[in-house]
Homo-oligomer: A and B are copies of this chain.
Amino acid sequence: MPDLLPCVESLRLVDHHCHGVVRRDLDRNEFESMLTEADAPPAGVTLFDSQIGFAVRRWCAPVLDLPAHTRAEDYLARRADLGADEVNRRFLQAAGASALCLDTGFGAGSVLPPAEMGALAGAKAYEIVRLEQVAEQVAVSGTGAEGFADAFRTRLDGLTTGAVGLKSIAAYRVGLALPGERPGDPEVTAAAGRWLASIEKGAPPRLADVTLQSFLVWCGVDRGLPIQFHVGYGDSDVDLHRCDPLLLTDLLRALAPTGTPVMLLHNYPYHRQAGYLAQVFPDVYVDVGLAIHNVGNRARALVAETLELAPFGKFLFSSDAFGLAELYHLGSLLFRHGLSDFLRSGLDDGAWTEHDADRIAHLVGVENAHRVYRLADR
């Protein structure tokens, strides 16, 4: 790959959506299973033979003092020798982030909490609270249907005193075709009643209800925090065709008067659609996290396609790294390459000046997140 533009290489990125890394050592199966969104492939296929697998061998091996393109076996052996603490420290440092906005709603217990993540990375750590997790805690707390709405609001207020944002995983549970109106109290109570009854009958407290997930989003609006939405690419649990960001159009129109920042995460392969929404709706922002580190040397295509319509003041960096510290490093590095190639292509074409390229890099990598999440106020 060509060298990074200095204005991109020197960025102390804000990673506006990421997760903790696992503390313990991992065997090859565990490593491969955390490397991508895949279930275990059949005999004869390895995920090391894919864009992300090659990115690990090429970009991560040197961080562990191995030559680029080291064989997978040797890489994993060296990883085990160094131990998870040292591996985590090296990759989090290599990511070069100044701030992490950590979604604490998944894998708590098995991954490092924000304070430890920040210390390892040498970055400020902020919390993003997952709406569904709060609702599921309320559901098993003994609240009845009538009291559910208030109990949720109270718990959300309590859990978000220090948070900088919220997250909805409606995409995973009911898809993104959320309604264009705020659900009324009777609807919420009725839906809560059905859900709580199913839990009493032994169902796990897993929220998957359009009315309630819509209600959660509107409570987030009242809370006055930016709301992240999982969009597009995820694991095989997702119905990807129900996760096109355009399905959010009715909700986005309804949210527009509130001025709530809506953060569309991942978006692949609907990132052009997301870029369109970021252009036409004043408070919609986009990233291509998760996809970036999966697509390896194609990161440049994703950045360029998203920025066809998305204003540069609406595009952010996230790694969406989870579990493997390598993903922090790859997410950051491949994003830098994608952004650098995009800016360099514009410089070569005469589309913008070096001064402007510097400014865009800083907007995308740092300033947009600072402004939207009001990080300076924290």
Contact = CB atoms under 8 A, between A and B. Distances in A.
Number of copies: 3
A37 B58 CA distance: 42
Contacts of A41: 282, 311, 313-314
Interface string A170-188: 0000000000000000000
A58 B233 CA distance: 36
B294 A298 contact: no
Nearest to A246: B241
Interface string A47-71: 1011101110010000000001100
A297 B249 CA distance: 28
A244 B359 CA distance: 36
Interface residues of A, number: 75
Contacts of A276: 233, 240, 269
Contacts of A203: none
Contacts of A69: 352-353, 356
Contacts of A281: 38-39, 236
Interface in A229-247: 233, 235-236, 239-241, 244, 246-247
Contacts of A305: 298, 301
A346 B297 contact: yes
Interface in A330-378: 345-346, 349-353, 356, 359-360, 363, 371
A39 to B, nearest CB: 5
Given A39-B281, A269-B272, A351-B55, A249 B241 contact: yes
Given A45-B282, A50-B312, A241-B249, 7 more contacts: A38-B280, A39-B256, A51-B351, A236-B253, A240-B246, A297-B346, A301-B305
